[in-house]
Chains A and B, each alone.
Chain A
Amino acid sequence: MRSKPNLAFCQRPAVYAGLSLVLVALLSAGAAGDAATAASAAAATVRVTYLGKAYDEPPPLSLMQKVLTDEGLEGARLAIHDDNQTGRFLNLKFVLDEDVVPAGGDVVAKAKQILANGPAIIVADLKAPDLLAVADLPEAKNAIIFNIRSSDERLRQADCRANVFHIIPDWAMRADALAQYLIWKKWNRWFVLKGTLPSDNEYVAAVERAAGRFGGKIVDEKTYKFSTGAARSDTGYQQIQTQMPEATEGAGSYDVVWVADTDQAFGEYVPYRTYDPKPVVGTQGLIAVAWHPSYEQYAGMQLHDAFERFAKRDMTERDYTAWLAVRAIGEAAIRSGKTDVKALRDYLLSDAFTVAGDKGVGMSFRSWDHQLRQPILIAGPRAVVSISPQQGFLHPKFLTDTLGYDQPESKCKFH
């Protein structure tokens, strides 16, 4: 019984340039169909394209962390299966097309192909520059593009786009979620240890913003220059054991080390090696994530079980955001009874829309920047420690809007 579900709807050749959306039969809203009769009638079809790029990435610092080549994709595949489980009762079919270009590949050309015949629904497993290049194509104007990968704040702020919907939380949401927990713990003196990448600096800006919003104090900020070499040489740990105390020495009186290492260059080495015996939080140590393999509440366990049987591995954050993007489209089609991209887009932005993502509350998109509001998990390496927003942080509309950029602070202007 624990076999891989039927993937008939997801398997297709990689190159696809057909209709983005095929309306075969009209769907009556809220209709109660019979599974048997539904199979015989022609079904209305919603087509979703997974567009990714196989970026060259450094190997993870921890050997325990596997190098995955199908991260995200397996989440989208499972969600298509879930959507079809519901769709079959409503005479509605969901199809996933998979287009992952190689590291040096031309993702824009691929996107043009996908968009050749009109607006499409794209799950974008892309870094910010590629995502913007695709979103800014004239033919993408009326598309729905889900950002499942990039936490860059600019995509929600100055570089926001009306056709982009962010499933993955940005740095601001993550920093705020962690900050709320630390304030709740009364660990409000933070020592920031950051890397040298532009994204590390962006993350630090989010930490500084969170300190200002919630009453944290950054007592010191140090930059750690990590010269990448062979991380896995035999004597690696001996050097690290002396380097990390040096890097964290002389920071004054603080409660936690807040690591800002967005590309996993050194953060994993900080816990247990600091000069003072302090907990490590941030991009490593205690982290703020949309999903975690150890999370079990609110039926999270069911999703892990389903994913593990499906993909034969743990569900990562990107698997979850891809899954949630495809579930969001499924929910929009099932609830609205519509299958054209414009109607689905309108429904995604309407007050009626919520999607359940096993985090206890219905989740919806913020109108001002199209970011999905959601609870954020505060997790250690092998267990979830808490879920933010924390008790006592209030908001007149959505508690989850205490995480990230609220409407009055938003710099996003859709054109």
Chain B
Amino acid sequence: MATTIFVSNEQGNTVTVIDSKTLKTVKTIPVSRRPRGIIMNPNYKEVYVAAGDGDTIDVIDTSKLAVTRHLDSGPDPELMAVDHKGQRMYIANEDDSQVTIMDIKSGRVLGTIAVGVEPEGMAVSPDDKYTVATSESTSMAHVIDNASMKLIANVLVDTRPREAKFTADGSQVWVSSEVGGTIAVIDTKTWKIIKKIGFAVPGVRPEELQPVGMQFSKDGKLLFAALGPANRVAVIDTKTYEVKKYILVGQRPWHMALDPDGTKLYVANGLTNDLTIIDVASLEALKSVPVGRLPWGVAVMP
């Protein structure tokens, strides 16, 4: 079965649509300025694209492969997360140190929550109870109680946290710190860090090992982490917290998405303007295909 891959191109102001079978570009969709965060609605009917300089979120209708409406995200949206019912969107407003909670259908803002400086990474827990927002300059993972729309914990992590991901069982949230060069594993019962994972590659300077985008494997046994300036994707065993492998990809890998069947990982390489396809079983990079200028994020649809 072919999967449709959507890649946001930060400098190209486009979203590239690729067919996973042919690996050919099906369509290039023009979007608002500086598209970065890109996520799929769990119902696969809509793709949301955060356009930071457009101060809007573009909504792509997946049946038309075109932008059909916009959500008033508040200023400078960078990344967002959708709950598992596909009803609410949690948006990081990078310039305003706040998280906006929006009803997707109506586009109505349900609330805003003040967090640290430059919020970026966003993740909703599997039970939809919590949202974690990471603030890059403040270096915290802020935990929002979704029902009350209040902060219940603020966890100090290493410098410049970029992304947060919950494990499938919701017992942990993993947070990548770009400049700190670590991934913090946070227990969601106590909201305390239980493990910090670092990286080492012979011949690569430590300051280049900067984790950004993350993705769990479908079985939850592995975490993939893009190490931007090191041009590699690290593969971490989620039980032992050991790094199993570093997979060489294009330059400045940023964010990634897993094929819905779990067999392939798609990685956006910012500086080489391409997308690397990784085979999850063998942990090998299979191929890279060209996309638009400065690819940033990836979303997939079966």
Residue positions of A touching B, CB distance < 8 A: 1-2, 30, 32-36, 82, 85-86, 89-90, 299, 302, 305-306, 309, 331, 334-335, 354, 356, 360-362, 398-399
Contacts and interface: CB of A to CB of B under 8 A. Distances in A.
A35 B154 contact: yes
Given A362-B179, A362-B207, A34 B95 contact: no
B205 A89 contact: no
B179 A361 contact: yes
B155 A362 contact: no
B138 A32 contact: no
Contacts of B191: 32
Contacts of A35: 114, 151, 154
A2 B159 CA distance: 26
A1 B75 CA distance: 8
Contacts of B207: 361-362, 398-399
B138 A85 contact: yes
B153 A306 contact: no
Contact of A85 (B74, B116, B153, B179): B116
Contacts, number: 74
A336 B98 CA distance: 26
B156 A90 contact: yes
B125 interface: no
B259 interface: no
A353 to B, nearest CB: 11
28 contacts: A1-B74, A1-B96, A32-B154, A32-B155, A32-B191, A33-B154, A34-B154, A36-B150, A36-B151, A82-B117, A82-B138, A85-B97, A85-B117, A86-B117, A86-B139, A89-B142, A90-B154, A299-B118, A299-B136, A302-B95, A305-B95, A309-B95, A331-B159, A356-B160, A356-B179, A360-B229, A362-B159, A362-B179
A360 B155 CA distance: 23
Nearest to A34: B151
B155 A354 contact: no
B179 A86 contact: no
Q: Which 8 A-B pairs have the closest CB atoms?
A: A86-B138, A89-B154, A32-B153, A361-B207, A85-B117, A356-B179, A362-B179, A356-B159
Query: Which of B76, B153, B160, B179 neighbours the largest number of chain A CB atoms within 10 Å of its CB?
Result: B179
A361 B118 CA distance: 17
B180 interface: yes
Given A34-B152, A85-B97, A362-B159, 18 more contacts: A1-B74, A1-B75, A2-B75, A32-B192, A34-B154, A35-B114, A35-B154, A82-B138, A85-B137, A86-B117, A86-B138, A86-B139, A86-B140, A89-B116, A302-B95, A331-B159, A360-B229, A399-B207
A33 B151 CA distance: 10
Nearest to A361: B207
B187 to A, nearest CB: 12
A34 B151 CA distance: 7
B112 to A, nearest CB: 10
Contacts of B180: 354, 362
Nearest to A5: B97
Given A32-B191, A35-B151, A302-B94, A89 B140 contact: yes
A262 to B, nearest CB: 31
Contacts of B155: 32
Contacts of B192: 32
